[in-house]
Amino acid sequence: MSDDARDVPSPTSATASPAEAGGQPEPRPALEQLYRGFTDEQLVPLWTEIGNLMPMQPTPVTQPHMWRWQHLLPLAERAGDLVPVGRGGERRAIALANPGLGGAPYATPTLWAAIQYLNPRESAPEHRHSQNAFRFVVEGEGVWTVVDGDPVAMRRGDFLLTPGWHFHGHHNVSDAPMAWLDGLDIPFVHYTGSAFFEFGPEQVSDTSTPARSRAERLWAHPGLRPVSRSQRETSSPIAAYRWEYTDAALADQLVLEDEGHPGVVEPGHAAVRFSNPTTGGDVMPTLRAEFHRLRRDTVTASSREVGSSVWQVFDGRGTVRIGDREWSAERGDIFVVPSWASLVLAADDGLDLFRFCDTPIFERLHAHRVQVEGAHR
């Protein structure tokens, strides 16, 4: 994280905001009349709003928040009893609504996160949309997501992509229900007026259940790409990043640390980023995804950055401090880190976490900043 840091004003250098520094006219009837004229004509004067519009540093309305898996799962199961899945509703997905965002089904101003649930033998119809999407599986198996006709198995620990405008549907071939985490850039696409949607077949287009998708067979060999496909792709062509590889990469980082070789983010903290093999960059244009592993008793440096993140505990137990809030967290729990809120993670026994965020947007706009406490600048 520290390598992309840029100079930022320290919090102590922040004085009064422009509005607090004065510059407001004396109230009098003529002024009130002027302001009524503004309201009637759909106008807002800058001088009354500048404090909100130009804060000294980000003041997001998004709140730090923790959703408990032990509460999410029974509600998803109940939805599985009561709510059919099919054409129209499309998905039995229940969105995490940030308490700072006025009831909108958005985890952050850019990110959608939901728990999705499929009963045994159920399927969700095919469609495509401009929003980029992924699945992360914290428990269970038995569902195949079919992406542009390519069936992709979903199992615990796997990270699966559905980049924008690719047809996709899901079907559960097993006798057990399955729940997973969906992440999409829905709020970003909504606020920017860039949403498109198209229905596909109501039944998934390929009901076979291969262990590996065609996309993996072509693309998911470490450090190798097919010579026949030399172009750069906007999104990663790897449909599924399998847990065995993520787990091995994290385990190796910690063993290398024991052997005195660099590679971890900070002592006791291993992390990997899911990448697009055709560019080396992020998996999708708006979404970054990572996996973090903390050794027992590791406490991370406090850090904050522009842009928001959603984290899910994959395994273990620990403490999460976001700004001045603190929670204990265990398997399945999901939490939101708003822009520029400080984050400290502490592992009890060891802690594995999946994370996704909107950083690619801010990097592309040259608006990304990171501040890591105690880091040398």
Over the chain, what HEC string results? CHHHCCCCCCHHHCCCCCCCCCCCCCCCHHHHHHHHHHHHCCCCCHHHHHHHHCCCCCCCCCCCEEECHHHHHHHHHHHHHHCCCCCCCCCCEEECCCCCCCCCCCCCCCCEEEEEEECCCCEEEEEEECCCEEEECCCCEEEEEEECCEEEEEECCCEEEECCCCCEEEEECCCCCEEEEEEECHHHHHHCCCCCEEECCCCCCCCCCCCCCHHHHHHCECCECCCCCCCCCCCCCCCEECHHHHHHHHHHHHHHHHCCCCCCCECCEEEEECECCCCCCECCCCCEEEEEEECCCCECCCEEECCCEEEEEEEEEEEEEECCEEEEEECCCEEEECCCCCEEEEEEEEEEEEEEECHHHHHHCCCCCEEECCCCC
| 116 contacts ligand 1HN (rule: CB under 6 A) | yes
CA–CA distance, 78 with 85 (Å, rounded to integer):
13
Which of 129, 368 has the CB closer to ligand 1HN?
Answer: 129
| 204 contacts ligand 1HN (rule: CB under 6 A) | no
| 122 contacts ligand 1HN (rule: CB under 6 A) | no
Which of 91, 214 has the CB closer to ligand 1HN?
Answer: 91
| 85 contacts ligand 1HN (rule: CB under 6 A) | no
Judged by CB under 6 A, the residue of 133, 146, 240, 347 near ligand 1HN is 133
In the bound complex, what is the minimum distance in angstroms from residue 131's beta carbon to ligand 1HN? 7
| 269 contacts ligand 1HN (rule: CB under 6 A) | no
In the bound complex, what is the minimum distance in angstroms from residue 335's beta carbon to ligand 1HN? 20
Which of 148, 352 has the CB closer to ligand 1HN?
Answer: 148
Judged by CB under 6 A, the residue of 65, 92, 168, 304 near ligand 1HN is 168
Which of 73, 256 has the CB closer to ligand 1HN?
Answer: 73
In the bound complex, what is the minimum distance in angstroms from residue 348's beta carbon to ligand 1HN? 32
Q: Single out the segment in contact with ligand 1HN by CB under 6 A; choices: 41-49, 179-187, 240-248, 347-355.
A: 179-187
| 345 contacts ligand 1HN (rule: CB under 6 A) | no
The 276-305 contact track toward ligand 1HN, x by CB under 6 A, reads ------------------------------
Residues in the interface with ligand 1HN (CB under 6 A) total 10
Which of 186, 306 has the CB closer to ligand 1HN?
Answer: 186
| 154 contacts ligand 1HN (rule: CB under 6 A) | no
In the bound complex, what is the minimum distance in angstroms from residue 332's beta carbon to ligand 1HN? 18
| 91 contacts ligand 1HN (rule: CB under 6 A) | yes
| 182 contacts ligand 1HN (rule: CB under 6 A) | yes
| 143 contacts ligand 1HN (rule: CB under 6 A) | no
Calculate the alpha carbon distances from 138 to 55, 168, 247, 347 in Å: 38, 20, 14, 18
In the bound complex, what is the minimum distance in angstroms from residue 162's beta carbon to ligand 1HN? 6
Residue 241: CB atoms within 10 Å: 23
Residues that bind ligand 1HN (CB under 6 A): 91, 93, 114, 116, 129, 133, 168, 182, 184, 186
